[in-house]
Amino acid sequence: MDALQLLFSFLFILSSYYGVKAETRICNQNAFKLMGTDMGTLPFCDNKLPYNVRAKDLVDRMTLEEKVAQLGNKAIGVQRLNLPGYEWWSEALHGVSDVGPGTHFDKNVTAASSFPTVILTTASFNETLWKAIGQAVSDEARALFNLGLAGLTFWSPTINVARDPRWGRITETPGEDPFIVGRYAVNYVRGLQDVVGYEKTKDLNSRPLKVGACCKHFAAYDVDNWKGIDRYHFDAKVTERDMVETFLLPFEMCVKDGDVASVMCSYNRVNGIPTCADPRLLNQTIRQHWGLHGYIVADCDSIEVMIDGHKFLNDTPEEAVAQTLKAGKFHNLLHLLHRLDLDCGKYYPDYATLAVKKGKVTENTIDDSLKNLYIVLMRLGWFDGSPGHYSALGKNDVCSPQHLELSAEAAREGIVLLKNDNNILPLNFNGKQPKFAVVGPHANATIAMIGNYALKSGLACRYSTPVEAIGAYGNVVYAPGCLNVKCQSNNNISQAVQASAGVDATFLFVGLDLSIEAESLDRIDLNFPGWQQSLITQVANVSTNPVILVIFSAGGIDITFAKENPKISAILWAGYPGAEGGRAMADVIFGKYNPAGRLPITWYPADYVNKLPMTSMQLRPIPESGYPGRTYKFYNGSTIYPFGYGLSYTTFSYSIKSAPKLVTFDLGKLQQCKQITMLDGTQPQCPAILVQDSKCTERLNINVKVQNTGKRDGATVVFLYSVPPSNIAGAPIKRLVGFNRVFLRAGEAQVVKFTLNACKSFSIIGEDAYEVVPAGEHSIVVGDGSNPVSTQISFRFQ
């Protein structure tokens, strides 16, 4: 290394530490000058050229070895081209996290804002909130980047459909409805990525990015570790119909409507093929059909998983030298890995050079991947400097008072009121100082509230715990009753029971945490762990005053015993409410906030899980075998609480003010009627039409009047479902096609307008995976489970 180079490296290191001042852009005239190069001679730094031309120029300057060294998450850079290393892997599922190596915290910035986990935020059914959180998180991400503490590419959100209540990662997801999951993805991704003023840039390959998001895990993932079957070995057997209708839909919405910069393929196989080695899924679906502008990355060590876990394409016993054998197995895979741009891991960097030299893969393929990667970095301003005004963000934008308030607001908006006998909530002691018992393993929760993909250390900007927040409203006796949520001993229950006798109200903070439901850990039953149920029942039994049960969980719990216990007056579900969770719960309990959260998943009875293995992917029931089906769209059995359930401190009424009665489609000359299977064996003249053959431009306007008929101000979520004609085999019971959270003062009424696509909102997916619109009497159902209103719409084709 000569003196200039040394100086250059030093400046380089310096600039990554003092980002704000030194400006971390690569195309920096002075830096090149120090290297003795005139930047003007380098097309990859010419900001008048299109990104694809610049990326090609950069890649063409690299040797094969240099190229291959950039294909892992830890890209090492090319010093002679002034191209620094870049760590692609950062995470920001519900706040910037240091779980990925691209982000770390230091003495100056010890934590980032931690929002509730996604399942609770989803329960708000408020798209504005979902996007606002994405914007707050990306402000903090940019600030951390400026401070040299984070990268610009975040592998979030998780948009797998919560297919089974046992799944350990439900906390990360927006629930069981593919349409809701997709809408969440679009809003969160746009919140993270969009640069204000550039949302609608015509050339999407040059659209500036605030940070790069990533929709994962593609696809049909959602088994982590259940009775010895883990995600590294799981082969999801999925029909094309379920694929199109359920597992792919959120990803399609994320790519097409969210314009996400990246998709991550998953560990599992789908029908025998590891998703990361399936050119049909990666190339055809994501790139050709949906038109991804960005890169595809493999989940971490996925390639190793294909080789060692799935033993894909290779049964050779491991007898040769490990490295050579691994390389050989990798080479067998390579022709399938064509469309995978980035390896979170080391297989690509370790073995791809040899693969090119042996003729297993062309260097051109590697060039294509690198171009996808560098175009994203160019859109992020990594070469030319930050887009927008983000270079001004710094330390004070992380854990800012506004972001902490937004975190509390998200928890308030998401919390679901499940039971409220005699309107016991909100509690009001008319100015007198009450005495409370605060019991249960979550009574003094901190890190349990922030869930996974938070800070490894469990640190947060600050915590508002349940016991502290309740303590602001009265004198508190604290007795957890169990040492942790596993509650393996009943030794401490009597202390909680004693604490509860004679108080003005008892609060039970109970439920699950990452020791019960987590990545790599699925549940085996739907009950409270250990002695928790006994704790709840015994505490309730001695109470002569209100008992309020607050449940922390992602998946549903069979709480029939508590629902039916008259001594338990009120039940709230608080998901994992984030670092500000304590005060958010207290705001709801004591009436500063009127709850309006709705369950984003079905809460099934405990025996549901005896009727189907976690590994079955099928959504539709099979009556002959007792297979009950999955999600509100297909499961018609009893529930503890249905999808969309949630109470308020006020009441609402709904009516449909206007909706079309008849929709007719004129068939084009070349358009054929499609036969579908009818339950009664009849076959109408033109039973259905194919969506792909229709223009599908017709819009239907549906106006719903909603009125707050109670005495308190409050919000409600208006759900709009479409219900297909009753005689069609295999159709869903109903399907959500629109939703809107609205706030109404006591007595106030509002008309909520929905605009539906006449094809897309009334279609079904046939057994052959075709999307069709059936003729006949469809309906629209509005409202919540208890008092729905509906109207019929006739569909005819001529």
Ligand X SMILES: *[C@@H]1O[C@H](CO)[C@@H](O)[C@H](O)[C@H]1NC(C)=O
Residue numbers annotated as active site: 299
Q: Considering only 4-12, 315-323, 663-671, 735-743, which stretch makes contact with ligand X by CB under 6 A?
A: 735-743
584-602 per-residue burial string, b: 16 or more CB within 10 A, e: under 16: bbbbbbbeebbbbbbbbbb
**Residue 314 structure tokens:** 């290779």
**Binding ligand X by CB under 6 A: which of 1, 3, 30, 106?**
106
Question: Which CB atom, from 480 or from 555, has the smaller least distance to ligand X?
Answer: 480
Residue 741 as a binder of ligand X (CB under 6 A): the answer is: yes
Question: Which CB atom, from 429 or from 743, has the smaller least distance to ligand X?
Answer: 743
Give me the phi and psi of 505, to 5 degrees please.
-165, 150
Shortest distance in whole angstroms from residue 756 CB to ligand X: 21
**Residue 13 structure tokens:** 């290191």
Question: Which CB atom, from 126 or from 372, has the smaller least distance to ligand X?
Answer: 126
Each residue 282-311 as x (binds ligand X by CB under 6 A) or -, in order, gives -x----x-----------------------
Amino acid at residue number 203: D
Residue 324 as a binder of ligand X (CB under 6 A): the answer is: no
Query: DSSP label at 171?
Result: G
Shortest distance in whole angstroms from residue 472 CB to ligand X: 13
Question: Which CB atom, from 28 or from 121, has the smaller least distance to ligand X?
Answer: 121
**Residue 481 structure tokens:** 């009753």
**Binding ligand X by CB under 6 A: which of 182, 480, 581, 628?**
480
The CA–CA distances, whole Å, from 92 to 81, 145, 373, 518, 610 equal: 31, 13, 20, 17, 35
**Binding ligand X by CB under 6 A: which of 429, 478, 627, 634?**
478
**Binding ligand X by CB under 6 A: which of 82, 97, 103, 126?**
126
Number of residues that bind ligand X (CB under 6 A): 33
How remote is the C-alpha of 430 from its chain's centroid? Answer: 42
Query: DSSP label at 331?
Result: H
Sign of CA pseudo-dihedral 405, 407, 413, 415: negative
CA–CA gap between residue 535 and residue 568 (Å, rounded): 13
Amino acid at residue number 640: I
Judged by DSSP in three states, 227 sits in coil
Question: Which CB atom, from 208 or from 274, has the smaller least distance to ligand X?
Answer: 274
Shortest distance in whole angstroms from residue 108 CB to ligand X: 4
Q: Which of 726, 205, 115, 711 is nearest to 410 (CA)?
A: 115
Shortest distance in whole angstroms from residue 636 CB to ligand X: 4
- Are the C-beta atoms of 527 and 487 separated by less than 8 Å? no
Residue 467 as a binder of ligand X (CB under 6 A): the answer is: yes
Question: Which CB atom, from 133 or from 773, has the smaller least distance to ligand X?
Answer: 133
Judged by DSSP in three states, 524 sits in coil
Strands of 214-253, DSSP E: 215-218, 225-226, 229-230, 235-236
Q: Which of residues 689-718 bind ligand X (CB under 6 A)?
A: 715
Strand 295-298 vs strand 342-343: parallel, antiparallel, or unpaired?
Answer: parallel
The CA–CA distances, whole Å, from 20 to 110, 135, 149 equal: 18, 20, 12
CA–CA gap between residue 447 and residue 454 (Å, rounded): 9
Shortest distance in whole angstroms from residue 395 CB to ligand X: 8
- Are the C-beta atoms of 280 and 194 separated by less than 8 Å? no
Q: Considering only 106-114, 340-348, 557-565, 655-663, which stretch makes contact with ligand X by CB under 6 A?
A: 106-114
Q: Considering only 61-69, 533-541, 606-614, 724-732, which stretch makes contact with ligand X by CB under 6 A?
A: 533-541
CA–CA gap between residue 26 and residue 260 (Å, rounded): 24
Residue 108 as a binder of ligand X (CB under 6 A): the answer is: yes
- Are the C-beta atoms of 112 and 99 separated by less than 8 Å? no
Q: Which of residues 128-187 bind ligand X (CB under 6 A)?
A: 128-129, 132
**Binding ligand X by CB under 6 A: which of 52, 239, 444, 653?**
444
Shortest distance in whole angstroms from residue 479 CB to ligand X: 6
Q: Which of residues 539-598 bind ligand X (CB under 6 A)?
A: 541
Q: Considering only 321-329, 376-384, 564-572, 741-749, which stretch makes contact with ligand X by CB under 6 A?
A: 741-749
**Binding ligand X by CB under 6 A: which of 538, 543, 618, 763?**
538
**Binding ligand X by CB under 6 A: which of 48, 107, 432, 661?**
107
Shortest distance in whole angstroms from residue 544 CB to ligand X: 10
Question: Which CB atom, from 560 or from 664, has the smaller least distance to ligand X?
Answer: 560
Question: Which CB atom, from 238 or from 336, has the smaller least distance to ligand X?
Answer: 336
Q: Which of residues 244-283 bind ligand X (CB under 6 A)?
A: 279, 283
Shortest distance in whole angstroms from residue 37 CB to ligand X: 31
DSSP one-letter string for 554-616: SS----HHHHS-TT--EEEE--S--TTHHHHHHHHHTTSS------SS-B--GGGGGSS-TT-
CA–CA gap between residue 353 and residue 62 (Å, rounded): 13
Judged by DSSP in three states, 264 sits in strand
Shortest distance in whole angstroms from residue 288 CB to ligand X: 5
Shortest distance in whole angstroms from residue 643 CB to ligand X: 15
Q: Considering only 61-69, 371-379, 720-728, 736-744, which stretch makes contact with ligand X by CB under 6 A?
A: 736-744
Residue 623 as a binder of ligand X (CB under 6 A): the answer is: yes
The CA–CA distances, whole Å, from 671 to 688, 763, 764, 778 equal: 11, 17, 18, 22
Question: Which CB atom, from 129 or from 260, has the smaller least distance to ligand X?
Answer: 129
- Are the C-beta atoms of 580 and 407 separated by less than 8 Å? yes
Judged by DSSP in three states, 289 sits in helix
Question: Which CB atom, from 225 or from 594, has the smaller least distance to ligand X?
Answer: 594
Q: Which of 701, 778, 699 is nearest to 734 (CA)?
A: 778
Question: Which CB atom, from 93 or from 459, has the smaller least distance to ligand X?
Answer: 459
Question: Which CB atom, from 318 or from 405, has the smaller least distance to ligand X?
Answer: 405
Each residue 486-505 as x (binds ligand X by CB under 6 A) or -, in order, gives -----xx--x----------
**CB neighbours (10 Å) of residue 315?**
6
Q: Considering only 55-63, 124-132, 179-187, 384-392, which stretch makes contact with ligand X by CB under 6 A?
A: 124-132
CA–CA gap between residue 247 and residue 238 (Å, rounded): 9
Residue 742 as a binder of ligand X (CB under 6 A): the answer is: yes
Q: Which of residues 374-413 bind ligand X (CB under 6 A)?
A: 409, 413
**Binding ligand X by CB under 6 A: which of 206, 271, 332, 537?**
537
Query: DSSP label at 666?
Result: P
**Residue 408 structure tokens:** 């509390």
The secondary structure element, H or E, covering residue 183 is helix 178-193
Residue numbers of the site for ligand X (CB under 6 A)?
106-108, 126, 128-129, 132, 279, 283, 288, 338-339, 409, 413, 444, 446, 467, 478, 480, 483, 491-492, 495, 537-538, 541, 621, 623, 636, 715, 741-743
